[in-house]
Amino acid sequence: MAFRAGLRTAFRTTFRTKRPRPFSSIPCKQARRYRPFENGPQYSKLTADVAETAPQQKWSRIAPVYKAQYVWRNYRGVVISIGAGGVVFYVYNLEEVPVTHRRRFNIFSPEAEKEVAGSSNEYKQQLEEYRGKILPPNHQKTKIVTRVVNRLLPTTGGLAGDDWEIHVIDAPEIQNAFVMPGGKVFVFTGILAICQNEDGVATVLGHEIAHNVAHHVAERISGQIWAYAFAFGVSIFFDFTGGLSNQIAQLLLSLPNSRTQEEEADHIGLLMMAEACYDPRQAVAFWERMAKAEKVTQLEFLSTHPSTYNRIDHIKQWLPQALDRYNEKGCSITGQYAKDFTGALGRQIQEAPEEFAAEFNSVSSALTKSLRPFSTILAVTTARVMNLLPGPADAASGRKPG
Ligand SMILES: [Zn+2]
């Protein structure tokens, strides 16, 4: 309140010169002269009152409105130059986001983004944090995630050349996934339980990789420049020690992904999964499962990926566009084969744990894509012979609360 009132007064007194100034009785002209601080911040001649009562008054003890007035009167040129420079800097660094064509401020090139947020040090730290919990590359779950990433990569428009590494972390209690700039994928087994099938995994990873496609990290770091500039500006008038500026900057930096970025990642991710021949309608099913799971437990994914807007409604709006892409790629035909196939063996899949179901779906869709139903029957028979289908006891223990 006091902050707003202070700003309002500062604005009136400094910018609206046509209005009668509340300080009209004060000999302001003297204050217009440049007065450097001596022996630390001083503010002695702005008003007669101040001059009489506290000639050596410290900067920190002066009301923000007087500070603003002082700065404007003595450093008007500097203030205007910084403001104009800021505007030029901002406009010069505007760019368009791929796919959605949103204009945004970004000062980082993709290489710089990788350097800052996806450095090898950062990567090592993450590996260290999950050491001992990372599933081996030949683990069923790692294979599924790897396959989904490999299918999504050609749709990213240039990220396939990055050094991609896939890590599945055995942590059923964590429903989260993230992808570092530069292509380091971390998926927690908790979210795989909600994914249920490969389309679900593609929904999550499509969304996460879409954050990279749109270079959202670079955008967020770029935004932090304004956060620090704003915090610094506020600290000049409200707290000279800088404590306040740190607090404001921390607050701005700790904010989760913005709603705009989330929407964008959903949109781009949906088109990516459709292009990779994953059924985009499954994204709606996934988010519905996510919403259900959210009612039961606090989901970590949603702490960094806010659900403050209605994801499902938005995804339904983009679905026709995604389905067009899906059909253009000829995915609907192969998809139908996959459905018939999984339908016929629905009982076994229902009894199987999620990881097997996903593996199974994927095998079936890959094989039916080549339009060789005979091979799929052979594959299933072989799988059953090799006892890969779990017994009822394994199936029960393999289920996770979703
Ligand atoms: Zn997100």
Q: What is the DSSP string of 314-335?
A: HHHHHHHHHHHHHHHTTHHHHH
Q: What is the dihedral of CA 306, 309, 313, 314, to 10 degrees?
A: -80
Mean pLDDT for the chain? 72
113, 198, 208, 359: which is the annotated catalytic residue? 208
At 54 the pLDDT is: 52
pLDDT at 297 over 90: no
Taking a 5 Å cut-off on Cβ, the residues next to ion ligand 1 are 257, 262, 265, 305
Find, among 174, 248, 201, 151, the residue nearest to 357 by Cα. 201
Task: Identify the helix (H) or strand (E) that includes residue 174.
Answer: none
Could you identify the residue written with the tokens 């503010």?
A: 43
Rounded distance, CA 252 to CA 250, Å?
5
At 206 the pLDDT is: 97
At 395 the pLDDT is: 33
Instruction: Kindly give the distance from the C-alpha atom of residue 245 to the centroid of ligand 1, in angstroms, as a whole number.
Output: 28
Rounded distance, CA 14 to CA 178, Å?
48
208 is a catalytic site residue: yes
Rounded distance, CA 305 to CA 207, Å?
10
Instruction: Kindly give the distance from the C-alpha atom of residue 362 to the centroid of ligand 1, in angstroms, as a whole number.
Output: 25
190 token code pair:
């908790």
Task: Identify the helix (H) or strand (E) that includes residue 184.
Answer: strand 184-188
Instruction: Kindly give the distance from the C-alpha atom of residue 100 to the centroid of ligand 1, in angstroms, as a whole number.
Output: 15
pLDDT at 295 over 90: no
pLDDT digits (tens, 9 = 90+) for 218-269: 898 888 777 777 777 777 777 655 566 666 666 655 565 677 888 899 999 9
CA within 13 Å, CB half, 401: 9
Rounded distance, CA 254 to CA 195, Å?
28
Triad 283, 287, 293: Cα angle to 5°: 145
pLDDT digits (tens, 9 = 90+) for 171-185: 999 989 999 999 999
Report how far apart, in Å, the C-alpha atoms of 113 and of each of 225, 305, 336, 369 are. Answer: 14, 20, 41, 37
Cβ count within 10 A of residue 133:
14
Q: Which amino acid is at 273?
A: M
> 279: alpha, beta or left, given left = phi > 0 and alpha = psi -120 to 50?
beta
Instruction: Kindly give the distance from the C-alpha atom of residue 211 to the centroid of ligand 1, in angstroms, as a whole number.
Output: 7
pLDDT digits (tens, 9 = 90+) for 88-123: 988 988 889 888 889 988 988 888 888 888 888 889
pLDDT at 134 over 80: yes
Instruction: Kindly give the distance from the C-alpha atom of residue 261 to the centroid of ligand 1, in angstroms, as a whole number.
Output: 7
Report how far apart, in Å, the C-alpha atoms of 270 and of each of 146, 228, 329, 365 are. Answer: 18, 34, 14, 19
Residue-range domain boundaries for the chain: 2-87, 111-217+257-328, 331-398
Q: Evaluate whether 19 touches 254 at the Cβ level (below 8 Å).
A: no
